Amino acid sequence: MSTDSLHTQTLAELKAGLENRDFSAVELAEALLARIDAHDATLNALLTVTAEQALDAARQADDRIANGEARALEGLPIVHKDIFCTRGVRTTCGSRMLDGFVSPYDATVVSRLADAGTIMLGKANMDEFAMGSSNETSYYGPVHNPWNPACSPGGSSGGSAAAVAGRLAPAATGTDTGGSIRQPAALTNTVGLKPTYGRVSRYGMIAFASSLDQAGVITRSVEDAALLLGGMAGFDERDSTSIDHPVPDYFSALEEDLSGLRVGVVRQHFDAGLEEHTGAAVREALDLLKTKGAELVDVDLPNIDLSVPTYYVVAPAECSSNLSRFDGVRFGHRADDAEDLLDLYCKSRGEGFGAEVKRRILTGTYVLSAGYYDAYYLKAQQVRALIAEDFREAFANVDVIAGPTTPTPAFELGAKTDDPITMYLNDIYTIGANLAGLPALSVPCGFVGGLPVGLHLVGGHFAEQTLLNVAYSYQRDTDWHHRCPEAYA
């Protein structure tokens, strides 16, 4: 069989092909490395390509397959967001601060997926320290949306999303603090899943906002999301916030039947901020769920309008502290003309961090500082409790909450860089799930002006399977996810 079209296949298809010996893991890796060579100059989706390491791993995968020792994800190529520490491989987090940083250890997500047999092709570009919604804050330049190179693929997992949408890799890992998996997935016609907080280990994932960060996946199909999540979820004794809760076989348990499913629809999610055609696409998707047996139920989340301001207190507060370790002493950028210790700190950090990261550190420092803590930080954590309670009450009555992932399709690069607030409002529909620690998923649901938009599904704690089933069922009756940007077919 020709290897020319391997990049068009999903993880599930590739898995079958490898098992069937239609092609080898080495052939597969070579084909995708060639895709990266050919297309990444345009997309800028990858910061590091680990070709040699990938081919080594592929050879071992072929041996295992030959010996009948194939593991669950044997030989399947993926890329990791460059927020995950990878042993012996440059790990930049999209920042000048970590430009030359080579991690001495693997993140748990990385080691689990390697143990399951996946092959890392490289590290994906991202907003610096995951702070951004357009991939424009990366020190290494913006990622371009395969659907329109003048547009942003979203962020912060923009490199991961563009790599999958551009068929450079069948799947990628991402992280989501306020929408950083789901928003780029929606803007690139891919599936993005952010699991329940604590479902996937945060060990080795460079922290942005510890109480909100969660690792997840970006894939082309819901099946693939189920497959990949199964390879990375589970308890990790190195992460105090990871949950010791059984991991189901998400892939095998996929279920198309939606009869009796109660789907909550939140009024505020269809307010004026939602672009008209995007809203129409989402409504159409909801109607399809209804025809498949689901019942649509109005749901009230009275405090959801406060989720963005709440987030922009909590996340900067945590980040201001999390990023203090970057001081130019043990690792990372160090200014070379410091007069004294104070100067060393201020210059190293001043030079190593970009504008948005600095802005968030300053915001976080401000809201935690004496005189403001109660008014901002404590207040935000109270509002967060209210928002979480709203969700809890809603899920007593519905199985999932559905709505748009983003207010608009992809916007042009540079369109929102002047005003931080405009940029922040991109995550208006996604942030609630992070604040409450809930699993959420974005699935392609149409196009507006040639650009993709996504349907957003939120579930109760540990309801990943429900989300996957709804989205799987939806994809059985739609073909949005089969569409590919012309230049990347």
Partner 1 sequence: MSARWEVVIGLEIHTQLATRSKIFSGASTAYGAEPNTQACLVDLGYPGVLPVVNKSVVRMAASFGLAVNATVARRSVFARKNYFYPDLPKGYQISQYELPIVERGELFIDREDGSQKRIGITRAHLEEDAGKSIHEGLDGFTGIDLNRAGTPLLEIVSEPDLRSAREAVAYMRKIHTIVRYLGISDGNMQEGSFRCDANVSVRPKGDERLGTRTELKNLNSFRFVEKAINFEIERQIDLLEDGGEVVQETRLYDADKDETRSMRSKEEANDYRYFPDPDLLPVEIDDSFINAVQASLPELPDAKTRRFVDEFGLRAEDAGILTVSRQLADYFEAACAATAAPAQLVANWILGDLSAALNKEALDVDHSRVTAPMLASLVERIHDNTISGKIAKAVFDGLWAGEGSVDEIIESRGLKQITDASAIESIVAEVIANNPSQAEEYRAGKTKLLGYFVGQVMQATGGKANPGQVNAILKQKLDS
Partner 2 sequence: MLDAPRSALLNPITTPEKPVSLDKDQVRHIAMLARLHVADDDIQETADKLSRIVDFVDQLSKAPTDGVTPMAHPLNASQRLRADSVTETDERDRVQENAPLVRDGLYLVPRVIE
Q: Tell which positions 277-316 bind partner 1, by CB under 8 A.
A: none
Q: Tell which positions 71-100 bind partner 1, by CB under 8 A.
A: 84-85, 91, 93, 98
Which region among 32-40, 158-166, 182-190, 349-357 touches partner 2 (by CB under 8 A)? 349-357
Q: Using the rule CB under 8 A, is 107 a contact of partner 1?
A: yes
Residue 371: exposure state from Cβ atoms within 10 A (0-12, 13-18, ≥19): exposed
396 and 167 in contact (C-beta within 8 Å)?
Answer: no
In angstroms, the Cα distances linking 226 to 83, 160, 445 are 22, 17, 18
Site size toward partner 1 (CB under 8 A) is 45
Q: Using the rule CB under 8 A, is 294 a contact of partner 2?
A: no
Q: Tell which positions 356-385 bind partner 2, by CB under 8 A.
A: 358-359, 361-363, 365-367, 369-376, 378-385
In angstroms, the Cα distances linking 480 to 150, 228, 393 are 22, 21, 33
Residue 138 among the catalytic residues: no
Q: Using the rule CB under 8 A, is 222 a contact of partner 1?
A: no
Strand (E) or helix (H) holding 110? helix 108-115
- Spatial distance between the Cα atoms of 120 and 103, rounded to a whole number of angstroms: 15
Q: Using the rule CB under 8 A, is 99 a contact of partner 2?
A: no
Which region among 64-72, 133-141, 173-181, 338-346 touches partner 2 (by CB under 8 A)? 338-346
Q: Tell which positions 40-69 bind partner 2, by CB under 8 A.
A: none
Write down the number of H helices and E strands in the chain: 15, 11
- Residues 6 or more apart whose Cβ sits within 8 Å of residue 94: 47, 82, 83, 125, 126, 127, 128, 129, 130, 137, 138, 139, 140, 156
110 and 91 in contact (C-beta within 8 Å)?
Answer: no
Q: Using the rule CB under 8 A, is 3 a contact of partner 1?
A: no
Q: Which residue number, 142 or 332, has a Cβ lying nearer to partner 2? A: 332
Q: Which residue number, 164 or 233, has a Cβ lying nearer to partner 2? A: 233
CB-facing half-sphere around the CA of 478: CA atoms within 13 A? 29
3 state SS of 71:
coil
Q: Which residue number, 80 or 167, has a Cβ lying nearer to partner 1? A: 80
Catalytically annotated residue among 95, 156, 320, 473: 156
- Spatial distance between the Cα atoms of 107 and 89, rounded to a whole number of angstroms: 12
Residue 81 among the catalytic residues: yes
- Spatial distance between the Cα atoms of 75 and 52, rounded to a whole number of angstroms: 15
Q: Which residue number, 48 or 219, has a Cβ lying nearer to partner 1? A: 48
Residue 331: exposure state from Cβ atoms within 10 A (0-12, 13-18, ≥19): middle
Residue 194 among the catalytic residues: no
Q: Using the rule CB under 8 A, is 103 a contact of partner 1?
A: yes
Q: List the single partner that 374 binds among partner 2, partner 1, none, CB under 5 to 8 Å by kind.
A: partner 2
Catalytically annotated residue among 15, 81, 347, 416: 81
Catalytically annotated residue among 95, 133, 180, 348: 180
Q: Using the rule CB under 8 A, is 195 a contact of partner 2?
A: no
Q: Using the rule CB under 8 A, is 421 a contact of partner 2?
A: yes
Q: Using the rule CB under 8 A, is 243 a contact of partner 2?
A: yes
Q: Would you please indicate which residues are annotated as catalytic (active-site) residues?
A: 81, 156, 180
